[in-house]
Chains A and B, each alone.
Chain A
C-alpha cells in the first residue's frame, strides 16, 4: 500500500489529480486525528476547524509578520494548536454528550470570528498570502503523505497501548473508567491534544501548499469541521483505516459532483446534443452539498459504523444480490 502511494505521483502526472491526492492525504490526517478523539475516546467534536485554522494561521503569520518561512509553521502549527486545546478542553469537557458537540461547535465559530475581527493580527477577511516554496506539486504530495502515514501510525500505536485502553474505557463508560482509577479529564485532554496537533499540522501544510488563507476558508464549520466528521463517519469511526477510506470517498465524491463527472457529463451532453443533458450537467455540478447531505442521512441510518466498520454487512448485501 505504502509503496503504491510512494510511486503514485509518477503515474499520475496531471497536476489536477495530484492536487486531489494531496487533498485526500490532508483529509486522511484530519480524519484520523478527529477519529482518535471521537471514535476512540467518544468525544464528538464539531470544532475541528478551530485547530485547523490555528495551525494554518500560525504558519501564515510567521511568514507574514516575522518573515520566517512558513515551513516553520509545520513544526509550530501543531504545537500552537495543542496550546489552544487546553482552554478548548477546559471549557468543553465538563459538558456531556450533545452539549460537548455544541460547545465545540461554538468554540470553533468563536475562533473564526476572532480571526475575522482581529485584523491587526490576521488581516481579517483580506487573508494571508504567502509565496509558495515549490512550483511542482510533488514535494507537497510527499509531505502530505508523510503526515498522513504519521497520523495513522500514531493512532495505531496508541490504540494498542495503555493510552488506547484508557481512551476506549472513557468512551464506553466514563463513570466506570473513573472507578478503576482513570483520570478522565486528563486523558480526554491528551486525546484532544493529539487531535489538535494532527489537525493543526494539516492546517499549516495547507497554508504552505495553497499560499492563501482567510478565516472563512480555514475556520469553516461546513468545509472543515463537518467534513472531518463526514470523512470519519463514512469511512468508519473507531477503526484505524476508516478515515483514510472516508477521505478518499469524500474528496472523490465532492469532485465528481463539482465537475459533473470530471467533465465527462459535459462531454456526454455535447455529444448527445440535447437541452436535457445540459440541464442535468448544470444541476449535478451544483448538487455536491446536497449529495453530502443525503449521504450523511443514508450512512447514519444504514452504515452507522461506516464502510470499514460495517464491511461485513456490506459484503453480505453484495453476496445476496
Chain B
C-alpha cells in the first residue's frame, strides 16, 4: 500500500512538470497548427544554460529561471521568425514542411549542444537535490515538490494571462480562427512568433526546474519531445486544461509503469498511451470535457 502511495505522489509531482511541457506545446499546436518536434531540444538548451549558470556563476537553479526563461523565449521567437514564418509563404508538395523544419532545427540544437558540451552526462547537484521530507510515511522529494509548486504557479499565471490580458485573448483568437482574427486587427504573424516564444519559455522553466533531480546530455531532448506530444494528444489540441490532465496522467502512468512493470517500460508507456488515445479517443480529454 505504501508503495502505491509513494508511486502516486511521485507520479503527480512529475506530472505537474510534464504539464508545463505539455502546455507549451499545446499552445503552439493550437495557435500555429504545427507540431514542434524541437520542443524537447529547447528544454535541453535551457537545461544546459542552467548548468552553465550553476557551474560557472554559482547561480542557484531556481534563480536561473529568470535567465533561462527569457533566453529560450528569445530563441523560440527567433526560430519562429526566421525559419517557420517564412515557410508559410513557400509552396511545396508536402504540407508537413513546418514539422520537418522543426525536426531540422531540433537536430541543429542537439548537435550544437554536443559540440559545446560533448556527449558526457552532466548534472547539477544542489543542497536539496537529494533531500526529502516525509508526510505520513511517504517521502516527498524536496526538489520535485518545489518544482511542482513552481509549475502550478506558472500554470496559474498562464491561465490568467490567456483569459485576462489583451495579448492572451489575441492568442486565443488566432488559435480559433487566424483569418477572422486578422480581419479584426490582430497581427497573426506576430502572435505566432510570441506564442512560440512562450512555448519555449514554458518548457525552459520545466527544464530548469527538472535539472536538480535529473541528468543532462545532448540527446535528452528526444524523449521529452515525445512526452510533450503524448501529453498534447492526450489532453486535446490547444486545451490548456487538457495538457494539465494529460501531464499528470502521463506522470502517473510512467511512475506506475516503472514501479510495477519495469524501468524499461517508461518510454513504452508513453507510446502505448499515445496510440491508444489515437485509436479510441481522438479528441483527447478535451473531447470528454468540452473545455
Task: Give the interface of A toward B (CB within 8 A).
Answer: 38-39, 42, 44, 91-92, 94-95, 97-99, 101-103, 106-107, 109-110, 113, 116-117, 171, 221, 226, 229, 233, 237-238, 283, 286-287, 289-290, 292-297, 300-301, 304-305, 309
CA distance A9 to B86 in the complex (A): 44
List 6 additional A-B contacts (Cβ < 8 Å) besides A98-B99, A109-B271.
Answer: A101-B99, A106-B278, A117-B268, A283-B115, A293-B108, A304-B91
Q: Is the CB of A290 within 8 A of B108?
A: yes
Contact of B104 among A44, A171, A237, A296 (CB under 8 A): A296
Contact A233-B100, Cβ < 8 Å, known A102-B233, A117-B264: yes
B291 is an interface residue with CB less than 8 A from chain A: no
B267 is an interface residue with CB less than 8 A from chain A: yes
Residues of A within 8 A of B33 (CB): 98
Mark out the residues of chain B between 105 and 143 whose CB falls within 8 Å of any chain A CB in the assembled complex: 105-112, 114-115
Total of A-B residue pairs, C-beta within 8 Å: 120
Q: Is the CB of A44 within 8 A of B96?
A: yes
Contact A300-B87, Cβ < 8 Å, known A97-B96, A233-B100: yes
Q: In the complex, what residue of chain A is closest to B90 when comparing beta carbons?
A: A304
Q: Ordered nearest first, which 6 A-B pairs have the shortest CB separation?
A: A296-B104, A293-B107, A304-B92, A290-B111, A293-B108, A297-B104
Q: Would you give the shortest CB distance from B25 to chain A, in whole angstroms?
A: 12
Q: In the complex, what residue of chain B is closest to A108 when comparing beta carbons?
A: B271
Task: Give the interface of B toward A (CB within 8 A).
Answer: 33-35, 83, 86-87, 90-97, 99-101, 103-112, 114-115, 222, 226, 229, 233, 264, 267-268, 271-272, 274-275, 278-279, 282
Residues of A within 8 A of B271 (CB): 106, 109-110, 113
Contact of A287 among B35, B83, B111 (CB under 8 A): B111
Q: Is the CB of B111 within 8 A of A91?
A: no
Q: In the complex, what residue of chain A is closest to B107 when comparing beta carbons?
A: A293
Q: Would you give the shortest CB distance from B65 to chain A, in whole angstroms?
A: 28
Instruction: Give 30 A-B contacts (CB < 8 Å), ordered by A residue.
Output: A38-B94, A39-B93, A42-B94, A42-B95, A44-B94, A44-B100, A92-B278, A97-B96, A99-B233, A103-B275, A116-B264, A229-B100, A233-B94, A237-B93, A286-B115, A287-B115, A290-B111, A290-B115, A293-B105, A293-B108, A295-B104, A297-B83, A297-B108, A300-B90, A300-B92, A300-B100, A301-B83, A301-B86, A304-B90, A304-B93
Contact of B103 among A107, A113, A286, A296 (CB under 8 A): A296
Residues of A within 8 A of B96 (CB): 44, 97-98, 101
